[in-house]
Amino acid sequence: MVATPIGNLRDITLRALDVLKSADIIAAEDTRNTSHLLGHFGISAKLVALHEHNERVAAPKIIAALHEGKTVALVSDAGTPGISDPGAILVDAVRAAGLPVIPLPGPNAAICALSAAGWDEPHFLFYGFLPAKSSGRRKELEALRELPYILAFYEAPHRIVETVEDLFRILGGDRNITFARELTKLFESIHSCKLADALAWLQGDPNRQRGEFVLLVSGATVAVEEGISAEAQRILQLLLAELPLKQAVKLAAEISGEKKNALYDMALQLK
């Protein structure tokens, strides 16, 4: 399992180059893409395709080659294979056949983004891609809403706006979001703001919506002192955006069942 660069080709590891040079076969998610990478490093190798549509069919052929004593390197288009990329089915089949699987660590977009986010949090949850359709996306976000960990998402440029809209709608405006865009590439940019301001920032310049994204969103904070649940905070925030403070607090108390006084104090802080 050979991790490859997520943009900057100089991020390839020495070990990855050794293995790619010496492998009998390189199984690649997109052989054209990998030819470009190999060409850059002067490596010629036998490439076979292994992608999400043929992984089950390709796996037995690769296992047969391994049984013949050949070495097979697996790469994806970018980053670490098996992480929001094909590879897991092959790995499982190879191990089940009693053969070793050796991981070579290297680039990964989520870890790269987290390392530069500057959030002093011990835990994160790698989520990868949310569903493409808004209904599915909102449902999955609802299941994540109460988790007190940084959430790490992958997103494509054509869905970035609608995903950020759903993040705001489901998680509320008070959380921090970091947009880590085009990491290791020419137009790398890292921007942090509140979810409440995220859409306006994205729409402030069309270039901000281009390229590949990792989105990091801070986890649910349960206001321990007040004993207010994350869900009640979210309701309060949504109502505060539309209504005068007293009315928002009254309604939030009715909807959530939380104490009015505690919600009132929180509303003052939020305002």
Binding site for ligand SAM (CB under 6 A): 6-7, 76, 78-80, 83-85, 108-110, 154-156, 180-185, 212-214
Name the residue nearer to ligand SAM (CB basis): 58 or 180.
Answer: 180
Name the residue nearer to ligand SAM (CB basis): 4 or 237.
Answer: 4
Distance of closest approach, residue 111 Cβ to ligand SAM, in angstroms: 8
* Helix count and strand count (H, E) for the chain: 11, 8
Distance of closest approach, residue 109 Cβ to ligand SAM, in angstroms: 3
Residue nearest to ligand SAM (CB): 79
Residues 6+ apart with CB under 8 A from 167: 141, 177, 195, 198, 215, 217
Name the residue nearer to ligand SAM (CB basis): 150 or 214.
Answer: 214
Name the residue nearer to ligand SAM (CB basis): 153 or 264.
Answer: 153
Distance of closest approach, residue 149 Cβ to ligand SAM, in angstroms: 19
**Rounded to an integer, what distance in angstroms lies between the CA atom of residue 16 and that of residue 2?**
6
Q: Give the bridge partners for 214, in sequence order.
A: 154, 180
**Rounded to an integer, what distance in angstroms lies between the CA atom of residue 150 and that of residue 133?**
23
Distance of closest approach, residue 82 Cβ to ligand SAM, in angstroms: 8
**Rounded to an integer, what distance in angstroms lies between the CA atom of residue 233 and that of residue 239?**
10
